[in-house]
Amino acid sequence: MPYQHLNEHGEIIALPVGKVVCVGRNYAAHARELGNAVPETPILFLKPSTALVPLQPAFAIPAGRGECHHETEISVLIGRPLSGVVSEGEVRAAIAGIGVGLDLTLRDVQNVLKAKGHPWEIAKAFDGAAPMGRFLAPSCFPELSAIRVGLQVNGELRQHGSSADMITGIIDLLCHIAGIFTLCPGDIVMTGTPEGVAALHEGDVLTLSLDDRRWMTQVARD
Ligand code: ZN
């Protein structure tokens, strides 16, 4: 099934499917768990629209390419153009939805790329690298700086965090990104992962959460 943005009822949101802008190391504890320094400015990278796949009812991970890690991330759907110097009000008005997605990462591949000083795309921008869930109306999250995000795998809590723990919060992050990459309607910003990243395996059952809302999915079997 091709990816389209869906609202919480599973209805198609009338926005094109654009690029995904991701931020690395936006939670200090996650930077530490991978032995990375906490950055002074956001580390940004892109996933193309071809990386997006529906989160539910199941998604696939690449086979034979080493460990594929889950990074569970609060994800922001953009509804209006944001470019250059933008105000907080413009940023808030441009948010069309808030959801949760997975920044799938081929960790073994990424470690080799990092060691060589090469870009990360092969590890993070492959087809299917961004399973994306449904988007809730921004009004569901009046406090963008206190959204809880979590992941259980096979009933075990793997990741939990809050946007309160972000090094760069959602509004400041969108302002920063708009000064570098124009955000277009239908683009998505993935805001970084809390600690607890680990490998996924075929058949794993996942429960992703934002505050008290939960969505189940699984890693497809071949
Ligand atoms: Zn990530």
Distance CA 188, CA 183 (A): 8
The pLDDT tens digits for 134-186 are 999 999 999 999 999 999 999 999 999 999 999 999 999 999 999 999 999 99
SS3 194: coil
Neighbours of 219 (CB within 10 A): 19
Q: How far is the CA of 23 from the centre of ligand 1 (A)?
A: 6
pLDDT at 39: 84
pLDDT at 36: 86
Of 24, 20, 108, whose CA–CA distance to 62 is shortest? 108
Q: How far is the CA of 73 from the centre of ligand 1 (A)?
A: 7
pLDDT at 10: 96
Q: What are the chain's domains?
A: 20-221 (3.90.850.10)
Q: How far is the CA of 69 from the centre of ligand 1 (A)?
A: 10
Q: How far is the CA of 137 from the centre of ligand 1 (A)?
A: 23
pLDDT at 162: 96
pLDDT at 40: 85
Residues of the chain where predicted confidence (pLDDT) is lower than 70: 1
- Give burial (CB, 10 Å; 0-12/13-18/19+) of 159: buried
Q: How far is the CA of 8 from the centre of ligand 1 (A)?
A: 23
